[in-house]
Structure 1
Amino acid sequence: MQYYIKKWVNLFLPALLIAMPVYAELGRQVIYLFGDDRALVLVGNKCQGTVFYVDNKQKFATQVTSGFKVSLFPFIHPSKKYIAIPYRDLSGLMVSKDYGRTFEDASFSPGGGPTGMSDATPEVSDVVSFTVVDDQGFFLTKQNYIYLSSKPFGNRWGLDYVALDAIPELVYKDRENFQNLPTSVPEVKDYKGWTHMQCDPTR
């Protein structure tokens, strides 16, 4: 496994470092493998820095965001077209809808928490898992709430996360891509990627 991780770093980061010399003295770690061909690489120190999405098969790397801290909750991500990378504090997410070539901000919608709760964002300590499957993202909490994105169509698909039981109370009730949503996190079979982000804080 360590050899495989080093191979990822050796294949892609040198080209990035030539283009951006400011990164030359920083550590480089693979923090997540989606499978055989895709990974997240962190350039920084103590599990914080600039994160890149790397596609080995298509041979490109995209800078996702800077100031990134590695998330600690379970992270299961078989989807390829829609890529969602949450911030550690759940203040938002960076998402791609074009297989990782570009990323944009996504967030939990104001008023989009469970019915009777004013906070739209789940507590980090309550997150059981974040799963991205069938081009939708699903946060599951200990209270059995599901915060999810819309179905994958329309101008803003994948950019707004709301609690499943809050949707009828929101303006999203009129958005076609928020209708007939899954009522549970879809089962993931034969996933070959990691189930958590990983990072060595001493580097």
Structure 2
Amino acid sequence: MKKYIVILSLLLVACSGTKKTPSQVVYRYDDHRYLELIGYYCEGALWYHDTQRNIHKELADGVYASYQIFTHTYIHPSEKYILIPSWEPGAYTISKDYGKTWGVATYMASSPPLERNSDGIMRDSPEGKEIKRVVVINDQAFITTSQGHLYMSSYPFEDPRLKPGGPGIDFTWFDDTYYLYSANKNNLKGEYVKSHIRPESPGSAWGTVVFMKQSLENLVDGNKANFQNLPDKEPEVKNYKGWDHMQCNMRAGL
């Protein structure tokens, strides 16, 4: 009898060890594109699926990189340019080719810093808890904070002047470095300096940085065509049939 009890116990241990990790759809862009989360407590491996284009990409493996869902407004009719926020989005997972390949979009450092954090310190980017709305439309991202600040990505193209063989971009900027960092500001002033952006060093590619529009007047990228004449507010989204929030069951698999 003891022999059968031991065998049964081993079978139960083996069965419990092969318990399948729960999987759930946490976001739907439309009828053929969605995000799948594999893990417990709304955290784990993240997959992007496009059944129409037969694209299935693991974006976080749940071991070395674990994904936590973004809980605020997320509206995403854009197809070519995809931007995915997370619980604490210091950077964003992006694709510029319908999800075939993936990279990262970071915050562009402004000068001077324009964002004040909860400790009263000026920063280049908002805290994750400040981000209340992420909208991606017409292959461009718009990120709104609780303070009403609007961050965005550039228009979805590269300045033709910076393509291989292009003439580059001539621009002039005001250098007041000595004034800013000098203890004695008497008789100190800046000067206008001529400079040039070369095609070999074009700077940030479209869609790979997010920024506040007002910061561009002090940044080199503000001289590029896809960083100019940007909107002052998030464009209106019409006829969107996807979800406006991520959805996740915290008790899945328990």
TM tier, shorter chain?
0.7 to 0.9
Give the direction of change, closer, same or farther, for the CA distance of 1:90–1:111 in structure 2 (3 Å limit).
Answer: same
List aligned pairs for 1:162-173, cutoff 5 A.
162-173=211-222
Out of 148, 155, 160, which is 2:152 matched to? 148
Q: Check conservation: 1:112, 1:162, Cα contact below 8 A.
A: no
Give the direction of change, closer, same or farther, for the CA distance of 1:202–1:114 in structure 2 (3 Å limit).
Answer: same
Q: Distance in 1 between matches of 2:236 and 2:245?
A: 17
Q: Which runs of 5+ in 2 are unaligned?
A: 1-17, 117-121, 159-203
2:138 maps to amino acid: D
Give the direction of change, closer, same or farther, for the CA distance of 1:108–1:201 in structure 2 (3 Å limit).
Answer: same
Is residue 2:53 matched to residue 1:58? yes
Tell me which residue corresponds to 1:72.
71
Give the direction of change, closer, same or farther, for the CA distance of 1:177–1:70 in structure 2 (3 Å limit).
Answer: same
Q: Distance in 2 between matches of 1:172 and 1:108?
A: 13
Deviation of the 1:44 alpha carbon: 1.4
Give the direction of change, closer, same or farther, for the CA distance of 1:157–1:112 in structure 2 (3 Å limit).
Answer: farther
Q: Distance in 2 between matches of 1:46 and 1:86?
A: 18
Q: Which moved more, 1:43-52 or 1:70-79?
A: 43-52
Q: Which deviations, in whole Å up to 9, do the C-alpha atoms of 1:78-114 show, x marking residues without a partner?
A: 0000000012211111100000111101111222786
Out of 224, 227, 230, which is 1:178 matched to? 227
Is residue 2:41 matched to residue 1:46? yes
Give the direction of change, closer, same or farther, for the CA distance of 1:181–1:128 in structure 2 (3 Å limit).
Answer: same
Give the direction of change, closer, same or farther, for the CA distance of 1:24–1:51 in structure 2 (3 Å limit).
Answer: farther
Deviation of the 1:127 alpha carbon: 2.2
Q: Which moved more, 1:87-96 or 1:70-79?
A: 87-96
Q: Distance in 2 between matches of 1:116 and 1:36?
A: 38
Percent of aligned positions that are identical: 35
Tell me which residue corresponds to 1:36.
31
Is residue 2:93 matched to residue 1:90? no
List aligned pairs for 1:95-174, cutoff 5 A.
95-111=94-110, 115=114, 118-154=122-158, 156-174=205-223
Q: Name the TM-score, length of structure 2 as normaliser.
A: 0.67
2:88 maps to amino acid: D
Paired residues, what number? 181
| RMSD, aligned α-carbons | 2.0
Q: Check conservation: 2:37, 2:45, Cα contact below 8 A.
A: yes
Q: Name the TM-score, length of structure 1 as normaliser.
A: 0.82
Q: Which runs of 5+ in 1 are unaligned?
A: 1-22
Q: Distance in 2 between matches of 1:138 and 1:115?
A: 17
Deviation of the 1:143 alpha carbon: 2.1
**What secondary structure is seen at the aligned counterpart in 2 of 1:36?**
coil
2:25 maps to amino acid: V
Give the direction of change, closer, same or farther, for the CA distance of 1:178–1:24 in structure 2 (3 Å limit).
Answer: farther
Deviation of the 1:115 alpha carbon: 3.8
1:142 maps to amino acid: S
Which one has the largest radius of gyration?
2
**What secondary structure is seen at the aligned counterpart in 2 of 1:61?**
strand
Q: Check conservation: 1:145, 1:164, Cα contact below 8 A.
A: no
